[in-house]
Amino acid sequence: MSRTSPLRRLPGYGRFWAASTVSSFGTPVTAFALQIIALETLHASTAQLGLLNAARWAPYLLLGLVAGVLVDRYRRKPVLVATDLGRAALLCVLPVLAFADLLTMPALAVVVFAFGALSLLFDAADQSFLPRLVPQELLTTANARLEQSDAAAQTTGPILAGGLIKLVGAPVAILLDAVSYLVSGLLLASIPVTEPAPRHRERRPIWAELREGLTYVYRHRMLAPAALSGHLWFLANSMLGTVYLAYGLRELRLGAFWLGVTLASASVGAVLGGTCAQWAGRRLGAGRVSIVAHIVMPVAWVLVPLARSGPAAVALLAAAQFITWATMGAASPNEMAYRQSVTPDRLQGRMNTTIRSLNRGMIVVGAPLGGILADTAGYRTALWTGIAGLLGAALILICSPFRHAQVQTTSASTVRPLGNDDC
């Protein structure tokens, strides 16, 4: 971060940013390695790969709304630390199963499901914790810095994953991610922050609090269309993501390394897009930046089914990934900052998990659907179907008042952190 960045003066944000960055460097390795294990070691079909991806996100669909209520009832920092350390321990199970020759698709799915449950709790607390560290006028910048770090890590992650898998095998490569979660948990534990005490006397039945979160999101003039568009986007994108690797490996015969290169292009695009996020938000507003991104993405994805083979295919896939994630890198921090800025602190957990859980729930449907379509109708048919879904998500935003959305900067964070952390 720049020495002149106002984020440098915020106690605690430096360690929060560092924790996110450290774990981000391991995550792409595991994500890529899991799919390579399924496809090349366990010889999974595309439909089975879709079910594995669905297992990762099923907890969001089954438990997500309840997680939001729980996060709003408790301090968020302890939840972040516990779930990070839990994920570190859980990822160590996969190499053990592999070395004992006990790794099967059902066993892989069980571990992935448990990992998803811990990630659900972490994500609910993570997005709700940031407004306690950062005032509203800096939320876009803070979110952009986090996404830039994540994208920078993912730039090297897929290539690193391909190299590690070739050198030591996918199970050992996953240990890198386990270490990153351990370091992240320790960094988060060291953040000095004052959080409000749990409000035991004010608690109502879980269903009543859950309904309050749903009502807030889906009756909000701006959040409702953004949420619905996001649900459709995740459905379509999960179809595309499931088909993408199998299409590249089996149809285009690119190999794990070159597929990693195309995915690294996505991360480069996200870094550059994140650099422009604050400027774009100030110039166009959060709503218009999001709409532009959603229009560009399906256009970029058209390049993927047009690819045939060889270096030209690598170039087309890399260009599609770069363009898609450059626009998302600019739009996502603005969308998140808008959501955080218009939501009261007591509803942050429920707002975030309501939107995120149903988004991830769409992956539970879209990932298997993409795999089934690819197996029955062909890879390109499945890709075109996913692209049509992205267009639908764009249309929802275009026809809604979300184009007028602006990040609110009228008040500061309700809880002030303590300490003298440097960013």
> Which three-class secondary structure string do you get for 161-227?
HHHHHHHHCHHHHHHHHHHHHHHHHHHHHCCCCCCCCCCHHHCCCHHHHHHHHHHHHHCCCCHHHHH
Domain harbouring 371, CATH code: 1.20.1250.20
> Is residue 95 one of the residues assigned to a domain?
yes
**Which has the closest alpha carbon to 130: 221, 64, 191, 68?**
191
Express each pLDDT in 7-65 by its tens digit. Answer: 767 777 888 888 888 877 777 777 777 887 888 778 888 778 878 878 888 888 788 77
Q: Can you give the pTM of this predicted structure?
A: 0.67
- Single-letter amino acid code for the residue at 396: I
DSSP for 139-167? HHHHHHHHHHHHHHHHHHHHHHHHHHHHH
Instruction: Report yes or no on 198 lying in a domain.
Output: no
Question: Which residues lie below 8 Å from residue 100, measured CB to CB, with a gap of 6+?
Answer: none
DSSP codes, 85-117: HHHHHHHTHHHHHHHTT---HHHHHHHHHHHHH
Domain containing 209 equals 6-190+205-404
**Is residue 214 a part of any domain in this protein?**
yes
Is residue 259 in some structural domain?
A: yes
pLDDT more than 70, % of the chain: 90
Q: Which two tokens stand for residue 342?
A: 């218009």
Single-letter residue type at 66? V
In a domain, residue 195? The reply is: no
Whole-number pLDDT of residue 417: 33
| Inside any domain, residue 419 | no
pLDDT digits (tens, 9 = 90+) for 259-300: 878 877 887 888 788 788 888 888 888 889 999 999 999 999
The tokens describing 83, both together, are 């779930």
Q: Which candidate, 14, 40, 179, places its Cα nearest to that of 105?
A: 40
Domain membership of residue 255 (yes or no) is yes
pLDDT in tens, 313-338: 899 999 999 999 899 888 888 888 88
Question: What are the pLDDT digits (tens) for 76-92?
Answer: 888 899 999 999 999 89
DSSP 3-state assignment of 328? helix
Residue 131 lies in a domain: yes
The count of domains in the chain is 1
Closest CA to 126 of 177, 179, 63, 187: 187
Q: How far apart are CA 402 and CA 396, in angstroms?
A: 9
